[in-house]
Structure 1
């Protein structure tokens, strides 16, 4: 199967130029003008459109067992919806239960993901600690292509990692050439605030943001960054939602620490007024952690993207239907945390970012694809329109528009947090591994057509840092 994309403008993170793109056997094999291609190659006319790397969503939760239920999007419906929105790769999360073997959990998630329609990879969460966890981390890095480990600083009495676990896991990441990622919220503070609100009779969704104020996130982000500094390991902070955590990232980066920040399309476009809606179903549908924030924090996040202190955009796609959210009708702490968005991320970011002048087209490509590929070590296989790269491509019509709605989206959930929003700038074609899977509003995907993506360890960089740390290790003083 071969494809030729003609008459478009290529937009990479670092440059923009006019060229045709020829793809064969799942790879980009030629870029230029007047390309000599087989007569039977499928032709896409991209006149007036942009040719960009397929989106990479580095933070999704398909089919996640969570808070007594299971996310409504499985690996097929979720990745299919992502392809409809121009997203060609996800990095999902393996989340072992406390005391569950990391390898057992990983193999379970891999089995679930065999139905994926797009390419996928995994972060693995560290939810407990003993010597077997350290051993499993090594196996995952060396044999299964996992180079990132997630740490939840929230969800007390469930999957929260305490400081001891953070220290030991961060050190192990350093030894293995992996990068720790962190959900930064002070779990103890959240738990105590939740109990106080319930005792006061505040039980509805409006209590959710009150139990997770920005300072709770800022404190945890700062603490995780400081631990990473002592352990001399890079760190990636997921779903940054407020200026306090952004300030912690910015401060550390200004001092030379290697810290990366991720923000969500939802946090950039939706404010905390949603929790004060009179409809329980509406307010509960927006319950996620960290919660949506005020416009003050939204403005800070945009500046973080513009200034280079936030590097990636994601969705934290974890969809629950109204019936599932109703579990918390009388107790907001029982509302399953999560919202959808994998189908809408790129269009919302183009509309809110590029059309407003907040982001250039090249910056859009960087924060939706290239930076994630670089941070998680799959560049330039992913994240670039380049000869030899995977043929994961989105053809983007800046003049096209659509109105987002749960009635028309492909996500397997009965609510859309962007409901009614008209976005200008949409994908007309999505190409995944050299196959056209989305064309002019029609989805053409099959379960199991995606593949697992190995992500190599960062050995050259990390080994040098490890040797440097060993060279400067403290020496015991001999005393008389």
Structure 2
């Protein structure tokens, strides 16, 4: 059914203005003043902002880790994302060394089939680089539309790849038009520090942070950036947490290297002291890289403002405190890494960023949606409000005040890391390709309505062809 959204203030990465939006056949058909159509449902957005749907470039839904599986799957995770104003997620597809890449991709298609309520796509992990993997990459890009590859520089003996694998991946990405993503921590040094801590009987959650100091993130970030420059390739550093990593990215960008960085809301508002909570409560805040001392927050906010960091992901990877996180009692290395973040990503950036004057309204849209769409081959189909774009729209009340709590959360985990945090601003209604997923704060979507998105190559603008989508 046609819809006209009236009386709202449209906000894009470039403009802020009052106008009506006509939606037809899943697309934005017209933007103008005083639009009318007797066949259209009228949606009154008086007093609200109208944002393009948020894009979360960093999620781990139903992901195996540490002998368990992350709590939120493509059903609960995407419902929570929609409540939070996100209409597209890009999830990480893990691979197994020695096995065909397509096997892992098929597993992720099976996980998401008939579950996702919003559109989604995949990144692909590269754990090894050899002739066999090289031969598979063109079909991954052409057939699956997966144009971003993740390399772990941490998790020794689990996910960690060596520098040769990273460099060859960068070389191939340059040739094929793909973007290389890195988890930048020095896994070898971390492994040594972890073993020293355990030998000394240091087993509490806080030692997760103390054995992964900012220096190991800064070093790995700088190393990855220099390898990118050497390969004349492109790099996206995920979940940047600290001054050392920001400085490495800024230095690389000043050299002209094509290096980008993402941070996450948890690093903007939480700090290392949370891991010291008594009664093992600190385990709730164990993820990698770890939370940092508070002074790093100002550095991250400044980097978002200056553009040395460009995007905000959630790194959603939720585990229950009871029954999952407590697997690490007596040994912090056995605490599953990750937290429930996906629902609060957009609201925290708005409340702590826009409302407190750290970033502008247009920068907020760019950081949560537009820049991500451009970086990952989804623009202009996603990430903006313009004629011809998908009608992924968030109607957002900028003045409502609320307190974040697990009691009102839609994520599946038994806790919320932002418990008790007061925020201003909340999505009221959310549309995915013209249909309400959230209406007046209630879920009204349909399981399986989300489309799998094939993305364009890095640096190319997405065409408007229907081939972008594959059910």
TM-score, normalised with respect to structure 1: 0.94
Contact 2:272 2:291 (8 Å CA) reproduced:
yes
* 1:139 paired residue number: 139
* 1:292 paired residue number: 291
Contact 2:377 2:460 (8 Å CA) reproduced:
no
Deviations 1:6-28 (A, max 9, x none): 00111000111110011112111
Deviations 1:54-89 (A, max 9, x none): 100000000001111100100111001000011000
* 1:411 paired residue number: 411
| Aligned: 1:76 with 2:75 | yes
**Structure 1 position 224, deviation (Å):** 0.5
Deviations 1:310-358 (A, max 9, x none): 0000110000002111111011001000011111111111110001000
Q: SS at the partner of 2:453?
A: coil
Q: SS at the partner of 1:79?
A: helix
Contact 2:437 2:446 (8 Å CA) reproduced:
no
Deviations 1:112-149 (A, max 9, x none): 11111110011100012322211221111111111110
| Cα distance between partner residues in 1 of 2:458 and 2:192 | 39
Contact 1:21 1:30 (8 Å CA) reproduced:
yes
Contact 1:176 1:459 (8 Å CA) reproduced:
no
| Cα distance between partner residues in 2 of 1:16 and 1:44 | 19
* 2:168 paired residue number: 168
| Cα distance between partner residues in 2 of 1:391 and 1:421 | 31
Contact 1:98 1:158 (8 Å CA) reproduced:
no
| Cα distance between partner residues in 2 of 1:41 and 1:459 | 37
Q: SS at the partner of 2:400?
A: strand
Q: SS at the partner of 2:8?
A: strand
* 1:396 paired residue number: 396
* 2:201 paired residue number: 201
* 1:180 paired residue number: 180
| Cα distance between partner residues in 2 of 1:401 and 1:82 | 19
CA RMSD across the alignment: 1.1
Equivalenced residues, count: 459
**Structure 1 position 47, deviation (Å):** 0.9
Q: SS at the partner of 1:75?
A: coil
Change (3 A) 1:218 1:107: same
**Structure 1 position 254, deviation (Å):** 1.1
Contact 1:58 1:90 (8 Å CA) reproduced:
yes
| Aligned: 1:330 with 2:330 | yes
Contact 1:98 1:159 (8 Å CA) reproduced:
no
* 2:319 paired residue number: 320
**Structure 1 position 460, deviation (Å):** 6.4
Residues 256-271 of structure 1 mapped to structure 2, 5 A cutoff: 256-271=256-271
Change (3 A) 1:165 1:4: same
**Structure 1 position 248, deviation (Å):** 0.6
**Structure 1 position 30, deviation (Å):** 0.6
Contact 1:57 1:313 (8 Å CA) reproduced:
yes
Change (3 A) 1:285 1:390: same
| Cα distance between partner residues in 2 of 1:72 and 1:372 | 25
Contact 2:375 2:458 (8 Å CA) reproduced:
no
| Cα distance between partner residues in 2 of 1:330 and 1:300 | 34
Contact 1:9 1:19 (8 Å CA) reproduced:
yes
| Cα distance between partner residues in 1 of 2:68 and 2:136 | 27
Deviations 1:136-188 (A, max 9, x none): 21111111111110000000001101011111111111111101000000000
| Aligned: 1:47 with 2:26 | no
| Cα distance between partner residues in 2 of 1:259 and 1:128 | 22
**Structure 1 position 97, deviation (Å):** 2.1
Contact 2:375 2:459 (8 Å CA) reproduced:
no
* 1:466 paired residue number: none
Q: SS at the partner of 1:52?
A: strand
Residues 222-301 of structure 1 mapped to structure 2, 5 A cutoff: 222-280=222-280, 282-301=281-300
**Structure 1 position 378, deviation (Å):** 0.9
Deviating above 6 A after TM superposition, structure 1's stretches of 4 or more consecutive aligned residues are none
| Cα distance between partner residues in 1 of 2:387 and 2:459 | 25
Contact 2:148 2:178 (8 Å CA) reproduced:
yes
TM-score, normalised with respect to structure 2: 0.96
| Cα distance between partner residues in 2 of 1:450 and 1:276 | 40
For structure 2, which runs of at least 5 residues remain unmatched after alignment?
462-471
Q: SS at the partner of 1:92?
A: strand
**Structure 1 position 295, deviation (Å):** 1.4
Contact 1:178 1:457 (8 Å CA) reproduced:
yes
* 1:383 paired residue number: 383
**Structure 1 position 99, deviation (Å):** 2.2
**Structure 1 position 404, deviation (Å):** 1.0
